[in-house]
Structure 1
Amino acid sequence: MVIVEEKCMQSVPPPPYAPNGTAPPPPFPGGHRGAIKLSDLAPHLLLKIVYMMFPQTPGINEGKIERQRKTLCWLSTHLRLVNRSFYIACAHVLRSTYLPAYNSMIRPPYSSDPFPFSSSTSTSSVETLQRETKVLDLFIALKVHEDVMLDDSSLHLEREDSFKDLFDLMQPRSRLEDLVRHYGVREGVVHTNQTGVNASSSSSSIFRGNNSGTGSMSTGKQTSDPAPVPFSSLSISFSPRRVGLVLTASGRKRTIVDVARTRDEKLEVTAKKLARQLKAWLSDC
C-alpha cells in the first residue's frame, strides 16, 4: 500500500534552472554541439565502419567474392566522393586491397612505390608528394570496373591493352619523378617546401638567369650555391631511349636536362643521372 501525503501533492514546483556562468561540457569529444555526423568520427572508427560494409556472411544473394567486388566498386565510385573523411578511409581500403595486383603489373626493369610517405588514415593520404599514387588510383578505378563487369557477364572480355598506357608510360614516368625528387633533395638541387620559396617566382628567376647567356644570375655574379628547384615545377618527358627533365614556370615549359638510357636501365640509375645533370645545369645559371 502506498500512502501519499496531502502536503506532498500541494508542494510548490522546484525553482527554474539558473546558469551559474559555466557552460555545460560538450556532448561529444572535440566540442561538437547538436547531432554528430558520421564523418565527424575519429579516422580509425570511420575506417572500421567502412570495413564492416563488406560481406560478413557468405551465401546471401550471391557469392561472397562477387559481393566484395561490388562493394569495392561502390567505395571507388560513390562513397569515396562524399567528403574528405570518406575519401581517406576508402582510399586506404582500396589501395591496400589492390596493391598486390598493381605490383604484379610492374614490368622489369621498372620499380614501384605508390604509397604516400604515411599510409595511415590522415591528411597525408590526400595531399601526398608521391606522384605514383595517382597512377595507383587510376589503376584501381579501372580494375574495380573490369572486375564487376566480369562478374556480371561471362561475355565480357577484358582487353589486353586496358592497362597498357598505365604501365608502359604513366607508371615509369611518375616513379621516375618521385626518384628525381628523392635524389634531388639529397643533392640539394630540389626542394619540396610548399610554404617556403614561391615555386613560380623561384622557377622564373632560374629561367631568366639561364637565358641571359652569361652563365650568371641577374646580378652578374656566379653563385656558388644555386637555389634548388621546387619539385612542383618539375616533370619528366619519358621514352624508352631518352628521358628529359622539364621545368615549368609562368605557363612556360622547357626541357632543361636530357639524358640517354637503355631499355634495361633501372629507373634509379636514370634518376641519379638526372639529379647530377640538374646540379650541373644549376651551377651554370
Structure 2
Amino acid sequence: MIIDEKVIMFPPPPPYLSSTLTLNPPPPFSPTALPPPKPTLTSFPPHILLQIVYSSFPQSPGVDQGKLERQRKTLFWLAGSLRLVNRAFYIACMHVLRSTYLPLYQSLIRTPYSSDPFPSTSPSPPTSTPTPPLQTIQRETPILDRFIALKVREDVFVDDSELHLEREDMFRDLFDLSQPRSRLEDLVRTYGVREGVITLAPPGQYVPSSSSSSSSYSSTSTSSSTLTTTPSPPTPPRPSSSFFWSFKKTPQPLPLPPTPPTKKITPLPFSTLSVSFNIRKVGLVQQMSSEGGRKRTIVEVRREGREERLEVAAKRIVRELRGVLSA
C-alpha cells in the first residue's frame, strides 16, 4: 500500500459554508437604465403631425397635371391610404378633409333642413367605462365622412378622364334621406335629454341628469311653498250688538285635494333609438336587443310636408314620447 506524503502533511480543506460568502444584492430596477425609445413619425405632437400632413400637398404644377389636380389626388390619398395607418394619422387626416369639404357639404343641404355635424358643446355619456376616442355621439358626423369619401373619389375620376361625367343625382339619397334623418336624431337627443326622457348612458346604466333632478326639486319646493303660504280667509268683523254672534262658528277653509302621485319617467338610452323618416311622417324606433334583434316604433307623428323644419318635428316627437313614458 502506497501512501502519499502530501496527503499526510497537509490537512484537508475546510468544508464549504454558505454563510462565509457575502453576496451583494442586485441594484434596484431603474427605468432610466433602459434605452430611450426610438422616435417615430407618430410620436410627434398633434400640431406638428398636422403640419406635416399639410406639407404633403404639392404647391406647384406637375408635368402633365395642374396644381389643383395634384392637390385633389393628395386628398384622395389621405382618405384612402394615410388615414388608415393609425389613430394619430386618422385624426390629422380627418381634420384636413373635414375642414376642406365642410363648406361644400353645407351648401348642398336642402332648404328647410338644418345641419350641425360639429356642435359647439359635444355631450359625453355619463359612464365610467372609457369610450373609443374616434367615436362621436353626433349622428350627422358619419354622414359628412361618407360624403367626403364619395366626393374625393369623384374628383379624381373627373381629373383623370374627360369621359367620366359626374352624375347629378349622385348625392340625392345622401341629402334627401340620410342627412335629414341623422340631423333629426341629433335634435331628438338634444331636446330629449333636456326634457328628461332620453339618457346618454348605456342600457342598464341610467344616471339621472341634473336638469331633471333640479326641475323635480324646483316643482316640489314650489308646491310646498304654495301649501305653506296659502292665506287663510279673512275673519268677518264682529258686530258689537249681536247676541247670537258667540254661537256662530267660524268657517274653516276646505282642505286641498291630495295630488295624485306622478309616475317616475325612466328615460330611454339614446344608443338604442333611431328615427324613421319620410315625407309624410316621422317616428321614433327602439331596438330591443343589442344583437340586432327586433325593433318597435314608440312614437309616430305626421309631418306637414317637405317645408316643415326638422326642429318642429323633433319637438313634437319628444312631446309625444314624454306622454307615452308618463302614461
TM-score after normalising by structure 1: 0.76
Q: Find the counterpart in structure 2 of residue 95 from structure 1.
A: 98
| Cα pair 1:191 1:230 within 8 Å, conserved | yes
Whether the aligned pair in 2 keeps the contact of 1:116 and 1:128 (CA below 8 Å) is: no
Matches within 5 A, 1:18-37: 22-24=30-32, 33-37=36-40
Q: Where has structure 1 moved over 4 Å in runs of 4 or more?
A: 18-23, 116-119
Give the percent of matched residue pairs that are identical in Structure 1 and Structure 2.
61
Flag the 1:136–1:25 CA change in 2: closer, same or farther, 3 A. Answer: farther
Q: Aligned residue for 1:283?
A: 326
Distance 1:196 1:48, change over 3 A: farther
CA distance in 1, matches of 2:34, 2:263: 58
Q: Is the 8 A contact 1:116 1:129 kept in 2?
A: no
Question: 1:96: Cα distance to partner?
Answer: 0.6
The answer for the alignment partner of 2:61 in structure 1 is 59
1:239 equivalenced with 2:278 (yes/no)? yes
2:280 partner amino acid: R
Q: Which residue of 1 aligns with 2:263?
A: 224
Measure, in 1, the Cα distance between the counterparts of 2:158 and 2:199: 45
Could you say what secondary structure the match of 1:143 adopts?
A: helix
Q: How far apart, in 2, do the equivalents of 1:66 and 1:25 lie?
A: 51
Deviates more, 1:110-119 or 1:180-189: 110-119
Q: What is the alpha-carbon distance in structure 2 between the residues aligned to residue 51 and residue 175 of structure 1?
A: 31
Residue identity in the other structure for 1:66: E
Aligned residues: 236
Aligned counterpart, 1:257: 299
Cα offsets for 1:153-210 (capped at 9, x unmatched): 11110011111110010000000000000000111111112497179xxxxxxxxxxx
What are the within-5 Å matches in structure 2 for residues 1-285 of structure 1?
A: 22-24=30-32, 33-56=36-59, 58-61=60-63, 62-115=65-118, 126-194=134-202, 197=205, 224-250=263-289, 251-262=293-304, 263-284=306-327
The whole-number CA distance in structure 1 between the counterparts of 2:28 and 2:280 is 78
Return the alpha-carbon distance in structure 2 between the equivalents of residues 36 and 190 of structure 1: 46
TM-score, scaled relative to structure 2: 0.67
For residue 311 of structure 2, what is the amino acid of its counterpart?
E
Change (3 A) 1:118 1:196: farther
Deviations along 1:205-236, whole A, 9 cap, x unmatched? xxxxxxxxxxxxxxxxx862211111001000
Rounded Cα–Cα distance in structure 1 between residues aligned with 2:98 and 2:141: 9
Structure 2 gaps of 5+ residues are: 1-25, 123-130, 208-260
- Distance of aligned partners of 1:167 and 1:156 in 2 relative to their CA distance in 1, 3 Å threshold: same
Q: Distance in 1 between matches of 2:41 and 2:119?
A: 25
Q: Which protein shows a greater Rg?
A: 2
Considering only aligned residues, what root-mean-square deviation do their CA atoms show, in Å? Answer: 2.5
Tell me if structure 2 keeps the 8 A contact 1:244–1:257: yes
